[in-house]
Structure formats: structure tokens, C-alpha cells
Amino acid sequence: MGVRGRGRVIGDVTGRGWRRALVTGGAGFVGSHLCARLLDDGTDVVCLDNLSTGTRSNVLELDRRRRFRFVRGDVTDEDVVHGLPGPFDLVLHFACPASPADYLRLPLETLDVGSSGTRNALERARRDGARFLLASTSEVYGDPLEHPQTESYWGNVNPVGPRSVYDESKRFSEALVTAHRSVHGTDAAIVRIFNTYGPRMRTGDGRAVPTFIAQALDGTPLTVAGDGSQTRSLTYVDDTVDGVLALAASAETGPVNIGGGEEITMLELARRVVELTGSRSRIRFVERPVDDPERRRPDTRLAAERLGWRPRVGWSEGLESTIGWFTARAVAA
């Protein structure tokens, strides 16, 4: 039985029926997968990206599709956002540096996109009467004292630590969405995404999965932070896209957690990557980053009950697919 929302039925947690969508950050990892899925569903898509962390190659193949348009521009520029060819009935706000390497390199830009960028995207959604969805993150929970993390948990965030530019940017974005909905009645929702991985990740973005895979394929040591006992709950990108579009197509406002149910240690992940790649790489332990969360696993009962969503791809299966993509790119290069 599907979940009905906004005149659409969500059967396999896949939203359908939008005429024209704006995806900010659409040339990024998750954003590019969203653009492709929306196009497959018959939606016209405008992808807005300044390419500070996204890559044009992620959406090059989409250029051949007449329903797709790429615009290089910054969501923090009000004139750019309001000048985009609409009207839109869906705005997915995914623009933001999302890896530690990126947001530590671009701290002020990260804060700007969470504040003025979110405001501009919200105003465009309000002007067009569009459904708006903010891509928030499990990082709003910080180094959580509650486990697993429910949407009602307020988090344990260091507001002046090195990760704060990303954590607080997303927390402010959530507050802005909530205020905009309250003041203007904007049809807006918040999704909190947990540790998504899959094809199109960048090897140098500092996240564990692409870093481990790149190191294993190169035959260099896999650099595991600390003793590797810290945990994450990995979510394959197809499952994340399903959850995002299910929430977008519902009447829910969120926040709603979208994340995997299998909690693994970083040491376990590194060993599994070595095994699946057939690499001779060893594991080398390095200093653990400041404020690196000890444990991370979402409580996804709300997504299951309200959206009919559950992750379907196990982390081992998803890793095989991701390794296959990285291997093919290495051979092509």
C-alpha cells in the first residue's frame, strides 16, 4: 500500500508527477543522482551548481536529454536563483560542501550556502508555489549522546569546533525552513541524511568509503582514524534518493531521518574494502580528527511509518557496486 501525498501515490517510495524541478547542488554526488531519477520519472530538471565541490562530469550524460538544463551559478546569489527558468513545482536544496575536506577548505562559503543560499531557495519555492525540501544531515546530532538518533534528539554539537561550519550551517538551515513555513506557509520539509555512499563520489573528498576504495585500488595503506572503533550507518545512494523523493512527495514536514540500519565500525569497513578489491594494502592507523563522532545510527521508524521507506541495499552489496564504478574509472583513465 503506497503513501498518498500531494496527489501522488508512493508505492516503492519513488515520487512521480512533478512537472519541473530545481536541484541546487545538482552536479554533486547525491544531487546528480536526484537529477537522473527525476528525469527518468518525466520531470524537467534545472540543475544549479557553482562547481565548487560538484563536477560537470557527474551530469554530462544528462545534457543529451532535452528535459535537462545545467546552469553554473551560486545559490547564494539572489539574482541567479530568481532568474532561473521556471516555474518550479519542486525545489530540492542540496547545495553545500558535504565532506570535511571541502567544508574545512570553504568554511565561509559553507555558512553562506546554509544561510543566504537556503533563504534564496526558499523564496523561489514560495514564489512558484513549489514543494521545498532541505537536505540536512546527521551532523546536526554532532557526537550524539543518544543512540540510535531519533528526530526529536537535539544533538551534541560543538559550535566553535572545526566541524561547526557544516554542523551549524545545517542547523541554521533547519531553523530557517521552519520559520519560513511558519511565517509564509511555505510547503517545506527537512530530510536528515546519514552517510550516503555510491558511484560518483570523489576520491579526494575525505570521506571514508571513497578514500578506502582509492587507497585499496592504488595498493597504498588504508588510513583508519583512531583505533577504527567509531561507527557509521552507511546508506547506498539509490536508497537515499528513494527516501528523499518519498518525503518530497508526501505531506510530511520532517525532520525525517534517512539512513542505513547496519552500523559498522570504520575498521570493519576498511577490512571489507580490502577483501572486496583483492588488494594487498595494509591498514595504517592515523590521528583521529577533532569532534569525530563516536557512534552514528539513525532511528528510521518515522520514515518507515510515514513514508513506507526502508533501505533495501545492504552495505556489502552497495560496496561491491561502488568499487565496480571506481575500478571502471581507474581502467578508463
Question: How many domains is the chain partitioned into structurally?
Answer: 1
Q: Is residue 77 part of a domain?
A: yes
- Biggest alpha carbon distance in the chain? 58
- Residue 6 above 60 pLDDT? no
Cell numbers linked to 76: 547564494
Cell numbers linked to 123: 523564496
Q: Decide if 145 contacts 156 (C-beta within 8 A).
A: yes
Q: Model confidence at 11, in pLDDT bands (50, 70, 90)?
A: very low
**Separation CA 276–CA 287 (nearest Å):** 26
Query: Active site includes 103?
Result: no
Please name the residue that has the C-alpha cell 503513501.
Answer: 3
Q: Is residue 45 part of a domain?
A: yes
DSSP string, 258-325: E--S-EEEHHHHHHHHHHHHT----EEEEPPPTT--S---B--HHHHHHH-----S-HHHHHHHHHHH
Q: Model confidence at 9, in pLDDT bands (50, 70, 90)?
A: very low
> Crossing angle, helix 118-128 and helix 164-184, to 10 degrees?
30
Q: Is residue 273 part of a domain?
A: no
SS3 72: strand
Range of the domain at 243: 3-197+236-260+293-312
Q: Model confidence at 120, in pLDDT bands (50, 70, 90)?
A: very high
DSSP string, 70-126: EEE--TT-HHHHHTSS---SEEEE--S--SHHHHHHSHHHHHHIIIIIHHHHHHHHH
In this prediction, residue 169 carries a pLDDT of 97
Q: Decide if 314 contacts 262 (C-beta within 8 A).
A: yes
pTM reported for the whole predicted model = 0.93
- Residue 331 above 80 pLDDT? no
Q: Is residue 39 part of a domain?
A: yes
Reported as a single tens digit per residue, the pLDDT across 56-85 is 999 999 999 999 999 999 999 999 999 999
Q: Is residue 157 part of a domain?
A: yes
In this prediction, residue 333 carries a pLDDT of 61
The total of other beta-carbon atoms located within 10 Å of residue 77's CB is 15
Name which residue leads in pLDDT, 230 or 6: 230
**Separation CA 112–CA 301 (nearest Å):** 32
Of the listed 103, 141, 166, 236, which one is catalytic?
166
Q: Is residue 206 part of a domain?
A: no
In this prediction, residue 226 carries a pLDDT of 94
Reported as a single tens digit per residue, the pLDDT across 15-49 is 458 999 999 999 999 999 999 999 999 999 999 99
Q: Is residue 243 part of a domain?
A: yes
Quote the Cα angle for 294-299-305, to 5°: 170
Cell numbers linked to 142: 554532532
CA 148, 151, 155, 159 torsion: positive or negative? positive
What phi and psi, each to the nearest 5 degrees, are found at residue 126?
-65, -45
- Residue 3 above 70 pLDDT? no
Q: Is residue 249 part of a domain?
A: yes
Please name the residue that has the C-alpha cell 560496496.
Answer: 319
User: Can the peptide bond before residue 87 be classed as cis, meaning omega within 30 degrees of 0?
Assistant: yes
Reported as a single tens digit per residue, the pLDDT across 166-197 is 999 999 999 999 999 999 999 999 999 999 99
CATH number for position 21: 3.40.50.720
Average pLDDT for the chain: 92
